Structure 1
Amino acid sequence: MEQNRNVFFQDWDVVDYKDAWEKQEEILSSIVKQKTENRVNSTEIPTNNYLFFVEHPHVYTLGKSGKPENLLLDEIGLEERQATYYKINRGGDITYHGPGQIVGYPILDLENFFTDIHLYLRTLEEAIIQTLAHYSIVAGRYEGYTGVWLDADNEKARKICAMGVRCSRWVTMHGFAFNVNADLSYFQNIVPCGIDDKDVTSMERELGRKVDIEEVKVVLKDKIADLFEMNLIQI
């Protein structure tokens, strides 16, 4: 089947985590269904690709390989912090989503791009790294871990973007959480990504000022489009 690198893009603004999760599942299922029908019926109907940006109200999510004890709050503590908690079906451990954070959900049929989940993650990381470079923040990777880090080669290592994905028949969902102006105190209530000896940071903390999150979204969207060689279509 011919590759389709058109990607429908939409900024969901602020959406409850559960609603966004259900929407992702619905879209992924429709793409997988089309792939199955193509195979069964020997058809070549192109599959769609999507990229969504969103901000969530305060929420903690635990990946399928994560440890529940890495959430350091009980139900009363969650209520006091006005946060919700979900066990979900992505990879990785526990993380936080909240206002001031760009959460990206690429729902891509990787057969339209490349069938390599590690390359997929590295390409998403590179988009974040290049976006940070646009703001003169030097970032990179931490060997053995996903996500984007600052000073990964020394004791000051700190994470600025977490990642966790699910892939079904080469169709992706979930994605990344990029701290722009996020309230970092919420990370004190978890063992972020199961790593208890590393710090978490944000663009605001690194630059010493609030950052225009809408501007960052534009830069990041362009970096993702360039690196994946995709044609973004606003919807």
Structure 2
Amino acid sequence: MRTLTVHHLGFMEYTAAWEVQRQLARQRSSGQIGDTLLLVEHPPVITLGNKARPDHIRAAPEALAERGVAVVQSDRGGEVTYHAPGQLVAYPIFKLSQHGSDVGRYVRGLEESVIRVLASYGITGERVAGLTGVWVRGGAAKICAIGVKLSASGVTTHGLALNVDPDLSGFDLIVPCGITDRGVTSLAAELGAAPPLAEVAERLVGQIGEVFDLQPVATVQRSV
């Protein structure tokens, strides 16, 4: 079984974590490192994927500034999303050729990992046909957003954002993932109380390992 190195980055600005991804992706591409997973929380930030529409940011720049919400144009796939404290963000730096060489299959694997984590808390996570991410309550509310990028050398960056206990009012600032007729939720909202984010992270690492046939062996705290 191949190994998975996990980096716990803690609380880190989106652009700083993005630079860490790029550094590690170059190392993964050249074979200096194996498959790697970054876990991080971001301060409030709206990110725009390559399909994002500017009008899907509902708040004026002045209102965003007052709330301390940054806006970043990302190179990931997808549309507009929101990150904030209480959200567990996971960035797999994987060589896709070792995981089926199929981006769609890879994304389904990320969804499956999250669905299994939710099941461990008694929550039924679901897929919605034609949409990416993980949903609950018959597809009425999204609990996990997914947006990825594949480099020319076949290495993945970006990943998933699982809502553990963020301030959900932040999602009112955007049209989440460009979807107007469905809500956003969190583990805290579904359970009535938030499980510890570190516990959710541990379960997510385990499930990603199982789904992608990787053995998590090294945990790095705030170090790359």
Q: TM-score range by the shorter chain?
A: over 0.9
Structure showing greater relative contact order (alpha-carbon pairs closer than 8 Å, 6 or more residues apart): 2
User: How far 1:73 moved relative to its partner?
Assistant: 1.8
2: distance between equivalents of 1:61 and 1:5? 32
2: distance between equivalents of 1:77 and 1:25? 31
2: distance between equivalents of 1:63 and 1:182? 21
2: distance between equivalents of 1:103 and 1:7? 17
Aligned amino acid, residue 89 of structure 1? D
Stretches of structure 2 that go unaligned for 5 or more consecutive residues are none
Q: Secondary structure at the match of 2:58?
A: coil
Match of 1:16 in 2: 13
User: How far 1:47 moved relative to its partner?
Assistant: 5.2
User: How far 1:152 moved relative to its partner?
Assistant: 3.2
Q: Secondary structure at the match of 2:5?
A: strand
Match of 1:70 in 2: 56
1: distance between equivalents of 2:193 and 2:215? 33
2: distance between equivalents of 1:151 and 1:189? 23
2: distance between equivalents of 1:221 and 1:202? 19
1: distance between equivalents of 2:138 and 2:201? 24
- Per the normalisation by structure 1, the TM-score is 0.89
Match of 1:184 in 2: 168
Match of 1:100 in 2: 86
Residue 142 of structure 2 is aligned to residue 159 of structure 1: yes
Contact conserved, 1:7 with 1:51, CA < 8 A, in 2?
yes
Q: Deviations over 1:118-162 (max 9, x none)?
A: 111001101100100100011110000010001235xxx110000
Q: Which has the larger radius of gyration?
A: 1
1: distance between equivalents of 2:44 and 2:174? 13
Q: Secondary structure at the match of 1:177?
A: strand
Q: Secondary structure at the match of 2:172?
A: helix
- Per the normalisation by structure 2, the TM-score is 0.93
Q: Secondary structure at the match of 1:20?
A: helix
User: What is the aligned counterpart of 2:110 among 124, 127, 134?
Assistant: 124
Residue 224 of structure 2 is aligned to residue 224 of structure 1: no
1: distance between equivalents of 2:27 and 2:38? 16
Contact conserved, 1:51 with 1:106, CA < 8 A, in 2?
yes
User: How far 1:200 moved relative to its partner?
Assistant: 0.2
2: distance between equivalents of 1:120 and 1:98? 25
Contact conserved, 2:99 with 2:106, CA < 8 A, in 1?
no
2: distance between equivalents of 1:211 and 1:8? 24
Percent identity over the alignment is 40
2: distance between equivalents of 1:118 and 1:47? 24
User: How far 1:74 moved relative to its partner?
Assistant: 2.2
